[in-house]
Amino acid sequence: MTKLLPTTSAGSLPKPSWLAEPEKLWSPWQLADEALAEGKRDALLLALAEQRGAGIDIVSDGEQTRQHFVTTFIENLNGVDFENRKVVHIRERYDASVPVVVDEVTRKGPVFVQDARELRAHTEATIKWALPGPMTMVDTLYDDYYGSREKLAWKFAEILNEEAKELAEAGVDIIQFDEPAFNVFFDEVKAWGVQALERAAEGLNCQTAVHVCYGYGIEANTEWKKTLGEEWRQYEEIFPQIQNSSIDIVSLEAHNSHVPMDLIELVRGKKLMVGAIDVASHTVETPAEVADTLRKALKYVDPENLWASTNCGMAPLPRDLARAKLGALSAGAQIVRDELSF
Ligand SMILES: [Zn+2]
């Protein structure tokens, strides 16, 4: 990537209303069987067109073929019971009814590889593909078999590595692991979290990223954020480990967030996807606001390592709003790009 300040979305994009009910997480599909398969494929290509139309440089599938960033992956594994669910307290924040690990977990087969081929066939742009991280997967399940979060995480890391290798082979340029759980379980991050993440990324012939955020703009997250105080210093706990890891890129929150910008100094040398778009607000950022966030980041990151991104995924937002936010991201990045080239 030679272009300065390339733009990208950190995660999901809203789905068309004919595919899934809008503005909802875990939104049920509106289609079934073959019509659903075709609808997902169409939505993937629309998401690509919308990103390119908004001037986004590094594109994704917009997660159009998945109901949820973690559970859809888990649905494609053996050893997990989706019928007899149990309630767990996800990331110490909210209760959710989740599937139960009842046997050894293995991958039934490729999960997103066909989708990745589809996207690759339709664009020359750099492609980034998101997968859940091992720790976040562990935290979205009830384990009745391994008896240890760490053991289960290592198992998931192996499975994720199989999928990631096949995605890279299908033409994906960057594999991003989503680890919002890293912002909550610091002791586990230090003990095994980053190592499990590195295992998931082992031997990949593409770039790797880790996305650590404060979550979608849903109520449970908004309430949790109120308890975090004036300054959000969670990154301070985990960045030193990430800095020493094999992961190439770090995706983080910045705009409208209470994260002190100087914390990104802790991962100097890595490429940074700095969130300049707030996904928890229905106000569209101005290009000037985006530029302002990027300029602040440039005090602590070299220009060639700075990518302009959203804070998190935008799946729960209205579609036109998400599109406008992507447009603002591009326009804001262009302002700073122009400044840097003088
Ligand atoms: Zn996120």
Q: Report helix, strand and coil shares of the chain as percent, to nearest 5.
A: 40, 20, 40
Q: How far is the CA of 17 from the centre of ligand 1 (A)?
A: 22
Q: Are 258 and 210 in contact (CB under 8 A)?
A: no
Q: How far is the CA of 281 from the centre of ligand 1 (A)?
A: 14
CB-CB neighbours of 141 under 10 Å:
24
Q: What is the pLDDT of residue 161?
A: 98
Residue 16 one-letter amino acid:
P
Distances in whole angstroms, Cα of residue 147 to Cα of each of 16, 22, 73, 101, 320: 40, 37, 21, 10, 45
CA–CA separation, 76 and 68 (whole Å): 13
Q: How far is the CA of 215 from the centre of ligand 1 (A)?
A: 5
CA–CA separation, 71 and 91 (whole Å): 15
Supply the DSSP string of 297-335, one letter for each residue. HTTTS-GGGEEEE-SS--TTS-HHHHHHHHHHHHHHHHH
pLDDT in tens, the chain (342 residues): 579 999 999 999 999 999 999 998 889 999 999 999 999 999 999 999 999 999 999 999 999 999 988 999 999 999 999 999 999 888 878 888 889 999 999 999 999 999 999 999 999 999 999 999 999 999 999 999 999 999 999 999 999 999 999 999 999 999 999 999 999 999 999 999 999 999 999 999 999 999 999 988 788 888 888 888 889 999 999 999 999 999 999 999 999 989 999 999 999 999 999 999 999 999 999 999 999 999 999 999 999 999 999 999 999 999 999 999 999 999 999 999 999 987
Q: Give all strands (DSSP E) within 45-137, no chain letters.
A: 58-59, 77-90, 94-107, 126-132
Residue keyed to tokens 């997968």:
131
Q: Are 145 and 101 in contact (CB under 8 A)?
A: yes
Q: How far is the CA of 173 from the centre of ligand 1 (A)?
A: 20
For residue 308, what are the contacts with CB-CB under 8 A and spacing of at least 6? 5, 6, 7, 8, 273, 274, 276, 290, 294, 329, 332, 333, 336
Q: How far is the CA of 274 from the centre of ligand 1 (A)?
A: 12
Q: How far is the CA of 224 from the centre of ligand 1 (A)?
A: 14
Q: How far is the CA of 34 from the centre of ligand 1 (A)?
A: 31
Q: How far is the CA of 337 from the centre of ligand 1 (A)?
A: 25
The side-by-side arrangement of strands in the sheet containing 306-309 is: 58-59, 126-132, 174-178, 207-212, 249-252, 271-275, 306-309
Q: How far is the CA of 325 from the centre of ligand 1 (A)?
A: 16
Q: How far is the CA of 311 from the centre of ligand 1 (A)?
A: 7
Q: How far is the CA of 253 from the centre of ligand 1 (A)?
A: 8
Q: How far is the CA of 179 from the centre of ligand 1 (A)?
A: 8
Q: How far is the CA of 100 from the centre of ligand 1 (A)?
A: 24
* Closest to 72 measured CA to CA, from 24, 35, 27, 8: 27
Q: Are 78 and 64 in contact (CB under 8 A)?
A: no
Q: Which residues line ion ligand 1, judged by CB < 5 Å?
A: 213, 312
Q: Which two tokens stand for residue 222?
A: 């908004």
Q: How far is the CA of 136 from the centre of ligand 1 (A)?
A: 11
Q: What is the pLDDT of residue 183?
A: 94
Q: What is the pLDDT of residue 45?
A: 98
Q: How far is the CA of 193 from the centre of ligand 1 (A)?
A: 17
Q: How far is the CA of 341 from the centre of ligand 1 (A)?
A: 31
